[in-house]
Amino acid sequence: MSQSDILKALIAENLVSDPKGARGRLLQEAARLFRDKGYERTTVRDLAAAVGIQSGSLFHHFRTKEDILKAVMVETIRLNTAIMQAAVDEAGTPEQKLRALVRAELESINGQTGEAMAVLVFEWRSLSEDSQADVLALREIYEALWLDVLGTLKAEGALLAEPFVVRRMLTGALSWTVTWYHPERGGLTLDGLTDQVMAMLGFSPAN
């Protein structure tokens, strides 16, 4: 199942908005603006201009500006959870599963959904506490996937550190790539970067 198939399935279930529709386009532009300028520095007038409507018309689609931020985050998590799940299911050994997870998360962070992923990390504090709780609940499924794989590797002796610590370190390390990794400028490919991450964890790249 390809990533675009996963996206289509989620759109059909109404779990994420079609990027071709009005709502989906707005969320995409919002993610880009929020990443580039930050949530606070992005005005509703900026958002409206990005999709070619008046600022007041935004509030026909979303109740508040914060609702837009929350929607960006929720839909991003839904999409990525499905992508990660597929990546794990398709891989064989635990080490291959870990590699698939790392590779998929790097792809999410640095690929098409990169803007939204960066927003998820860097604009977290701009969400109200209530919204934070809602979004956190969604993230748990996602995190369980990782802990499961890391736990198996630890039991096998392939991992020295604690799974929950490793996962948190990886969250930071992989998210941070968005600030320095620019494949279009040449250098490391996505697979090469994945190899480096695995090597850092002590797994040799010959797999």
Partner DNA sequence: GACGATACCAAGCAAGCGCTTGGTTTGTAA
Partner DNA sequence: TTACAAACCAAGCGCTTGCTTGGTATCGTC
Chosen residue from 1, 9, 54, 89 binding DNA by CB under 7 A: 54
Evaluate whether 169 touches 108 at the Cβ level (below 8 Å). Answer: no
125 forms part of the interface with a second copy (CB under 8 A):
yes
Going by C-alpha positions, the residue among 118, 79, 86, 115 that lies closest to residue 103 is 86
- Look at residues 29, 51, 34, 203 and name the one whose alpha carbon lies nearest to residue 127: 34
d(CA 76, CA 14): 13
Contact call for residue 166 and a second copy (CB under 8 A): yes
Contact between residue 76 and residue 113 where contact means Cβ atoms under 8 Å apart: yes
Does 43 bind DNA (CB under 7 A)? Our answer is: yes
User: Which span (8-16, 43-51, 112-120, 153-161) binds DNA, by CB under 7 A?
Assistant: 43-51
CB contact set of 141 (below 8 Å; sequence gap of 6+) = 81
Looking at the Cβ atoms of 85 and 177, the one nearer to a second copy is 177
Residues that bind a second copy (CB under 8 A): 37-38, 40-41, 122, 125-126, 160-162, 165-166, 168-177, 180, 188, 193, 196-197, 199-202, 204
Residues that bind DNA (CB under 7 A): 22, 42-45, 48, 52-57, 59-61, 63-66
